[in-house]
Structure formats: structure tokens, C-alpha cells
Homo-oligomer: A and B are copies of this chain.
Amino acid sequence: MTTLIPSKLTDEVVASYDHCPDPRVGAIMTSLVKHLHSFAREVRLTEAEWLAGVELLTQVGQFCTPVRQEFIALSDVLGLEMTIIELNHGIEDGATAATLLGPFYVPNAPELPKGALVCGNPPGEPLDVRGEIRDVKGNAIGDALIDVWQAGDDGLYSSQDPNKGKFDLRGRFRSDPDGTYYFKSVVPKGYQIPSDGPVSALMRLTGRSLFRPAHLHFLISARGCKSLVTHLFVKGDPHLAEDAVFGVRDSLIAEFKPNGGDNGKGYTLNYDFVLSRS
């Protein structure tokens, strides 16, 4: 195990937070300073490398717009957002694992009736998604709001594609009193994280994969329960072991079964979500 490297200079910087009015902010800043200095000492960072880091962070900040948060992307590819998820959403009592929200969520998608197709009549392989919403004791949760979003057959979310409507491949559904939910969509495709910004440049420089394995996003909320942000991944996707943002959990890999029904077309996904009581 590596240890933090002490130094007089680090002590001096830490002491500068002695009069921080908010003790929590002071604790965060002093821990950050210790780790930042210790990182620099551990690798013996050169001036040129430090300046390259300054330039990268500047580019990341300048790439951000109201619809493109490149610092969240950086945080995600460094595994920081998933660290935060693990810290704040420990798996308790058999509840469904949480994973990251990601940058493509759009709030207030239309609320649709049970069994409806997500917005935009998207092209692709038809998919039926069914299951139950339960609490950790096995009680059905009715009237849960199931907010769904995904990339389409072309690997693009509506917010990335000017040819798609704002809420295409999105929808909100309610569970029945017996906890069951059901909606129709298309099988999502895997994709690469946006390849035009400084974060993708860093990924290429470091030999990392830009891929995210195919998945559906869920944000599930219900009265008396903690909200659950998660994905369901398509079993068999070739990129499950190299998700660029480290969101995959074994329990979130689900079988998309080919339909054996009348027309033999499309797939069915069955998945039950278990929420923690708040």
C-alpha cells in the first residue's frame, strides 16, 4: 500500500485552512492538498508535465457548454463518478446496484402509458422490457416512476443527434399497483464516448478504449424509497470488460432474449428492480 508523502510545504498549505469557516470544506481542501502534493512527489512531476496538466484542464474547461460537460466526462473516465456512486449508494439489503447518470439524461420526458413505445418511433430491433419494482422485503411498489433513456440503433442519444427529437428514445412509465412495469423500445447499441474533445484525446494518448457497452438507462423513483440511477447492460456485448467509464456491474448485465412468438421478431428483457426504503 502506498502512503502519503509528508512535507513541510504540505503542512504549510494545510495550515492555511485552519481558519476555514466551514469545517467540512476545510476537511475536503486539506485532504485534497495532501493527495495532490503526494501525487506530485510520488511521480516526481516535472515542470513540463505540470504545465501539460494545466493546459489539459484549461482545454477541458473551455470545451464545456450548457449541453456538453467535459469535466464530468473527465471525472467519469478517471473512475471518480463511480467512486462517488459507490460511496453514496452502497448496496444494502439486496437492492439493485446503482451506476452513473452519465451526461445524456434529459429531465421531463413525456409520461407514457404501460406498454407504450418510447418516443420517436425509433428504428431498430424491437425490444419489450418487463419486470417488477419491489422493495428489499419483496413488497410490490406501485406508482413508481420509471424514467428511461438510451442510445438508438445508431449508438446516438437524442441530445447528440440533430436529426432526433428532444425526447426520442426517452419516456417515463409508471408501475401498476402489483409493481409490474412494461414498455417497448429498440435494442440499444454500444458507442464510443464523444471523440472530439480533450478527454477523448487523453484516452487515445493513454491507449484506452473509448467504448461503452450497449445499455439502457433507468432513473426510478417512488414514494418512501431512495431514487435509483442505474443501467442494464446487454449480455454478450464485446465491450463489457472495457467500459470507458467503469459503470458495469455483473448484477446489471441482463439477457436480451430473442422472441420466440408469433412473428419471431425482436427481443424481450425481463428485469426486476429492488429499491431501498428511504
Contacts of A6 in B (CB 8 A): 1
Bound-state CA distance A6–B1 (Å) is 8
Looking at A153-161, A202-210, A214-222, A261-269, the stretch in contact with chain B turns out to be A202-210
Copies in the complex: 2
Please count how many residues in chain A sit with their CB below 8 Å of the partner chain's CB atoms: 70
- Contact, CB under 8 Å: A78 / B26: no
- Contact, CB under 8 Å: B78 / A20: no
- Interface presence of A259 (CB below 8 A): no
- Interface presence of A116 (CB below 8 A): no
For A244, give the chain B residue with the smallest CB separation: B16
Q: Tell me the A22-75 residues at the B interface (CB within 8 Å).
A: 22, 25-29, 31-47, 49-50, 54, 57-62, 64, 69, 71-72, 75
Looking at A83-91, A131-139, A232-240, the stretch in contact with chain B turns out to be A83-91
Looking at A7-15, A144-152, A166-174, A176-184, the stretch in contact with chain B turns out to be A7-15
Contacts of A205 in B (CB 8 A): 21-22, 25
- Contact, CB under 8 Å: A75 / B61: no
Bound-state CA distance A45–B24 (Å) is 10
Q: Tell me the A222-247 residues at the B interface (CB within 8 Å).
A: 242, 246
Bound-state CA distance A242–B15 (Å) is 10
Q: Among the listed B21, B35, B62, which residue makes an inter-chain contact with A36, where contact means beta carbons less than 8 Å apart?
A: B35
- Contact, CB under 8 Å: B31 / A43: yes
- For the complex with contacts A27-B43, A37-B83, A54-B71, 17 further pairs of A-B residues with Cβ separation under 8 Å are A1-B6, A12-B79, A16-B208, A16-B242, A19-B207, A19-B208, A20-B206, A22-B205, A28-B49, A36-B78, A46-B84, A57-B61, A58-B61, A58-B64, A61-B61, A61-B64, A62-B62
By a beta-carbon cutoff of 8 Å, the part of chain A in contact with chain B is: 1-4, 6-7, 9-10, 12-13, 16-17, 19-22, 25-29, 31-47, 49-50, 54, 57-62, 64, 69, 71-72, 75, 78-88, 205-209, 242, 246
